[in-house]
Chain A
Amino acid sequence: QLQLQESGPGLVQPSETLSLTCTVSGGSISDTTYYWDWIRRPPGKGLEWIGSIYYSGNTHYSPSLKSRVTISVDTSKNQFSLKLNSLTASDTAVYYCARTRSFYERALDYWGQGTLVTVSS
């Protein structure tokens, strides 16, 4: 059974950079079938798509975050990562990693449990 697990700091200072990692188990991140996504949900708000990466390193980003976000993949560790810089309080959210159903069918069928990130001094 595929599992995804987010890890990273729960509290980050404003203006700093958030680094989160998603570890994939029960499957290979190098599987050519899938894309791997990051999504967040700020408190009291809805889901926001952050971006997506393929095992080859090909990425797509939300235009609203593109200037501040980098998603990378480490196939040797079966992980992919999110970096978001210049943090403000509005970046406080539960951050999720997820897998697409397939290369062409990009609905998200497996999700991590999510990790709460609070941006505060």
Chain B
Amino acid sequence: DIQMTQSPSSLSASVGDRVTITCRASQGISNYLAWYQQKPGRVPKLLIYAASTLQSGVPSRFSGSGSGTDFTLTISSLQPEDVASYYCQKYNSAPHTFGQGTRLEIK
């Protein structure tokens, strides 16, 4: 099975910073990758699908890129409400494995 590895596992940044989270697949998955945000006590929210397509209603400061094995989620200007855990998920074929998550905090 394809493994999904996120880095870093935790991250602390200042408001206004540009933040980058990476996700690496152990084999190529084309662009079948999604990014989710989960705030404490809340339901996961889809941010990005097809590696780079912004889900409707998601702020434009979020963006995704990559194809094959290496993917990136970028927040262009970190806001206080972005404190959350972020997960990548591959869905080219079952199992639709999630990355282990990245916890993002405000410095």
Interface size on B, residues (CB 8 A): 24
Quick check: B50 and A105 within 8 Å, CB to CB? yes
Contact residues on A (Cβ < 8 Å of other chain), bracket: 20 to 34
Q: Is the interface of A mostly helix, strand, loop or mixed?
A: strand
24-57 of chain B: CB within 8 A of chain A: 32, 34, 36, 38, 43-46, 49-50, 55
Which one of B12-20, B72-80, B87-95 contacts A? B87-95
Q: Is the interface of B mostly helix, strand, loop or mixed?
A: loop
- What are 8 sample pairs from A and B whose C-beta atoms fall under 8 A apart? A41-B38, A46-B98, A46-B100, A46-B101, A47-B36, A47-B38, A61-B95, A100-B91
- A110 nearest CB across to chain B (Å): 9
Q: How far is the CA of A27 from the CA of B80 in the complex (A)?
A: 35
Quick check: B89 and A49 within 8 Å, CB to CB? yes
Contacts of A114 in B (CB 8 A): 43
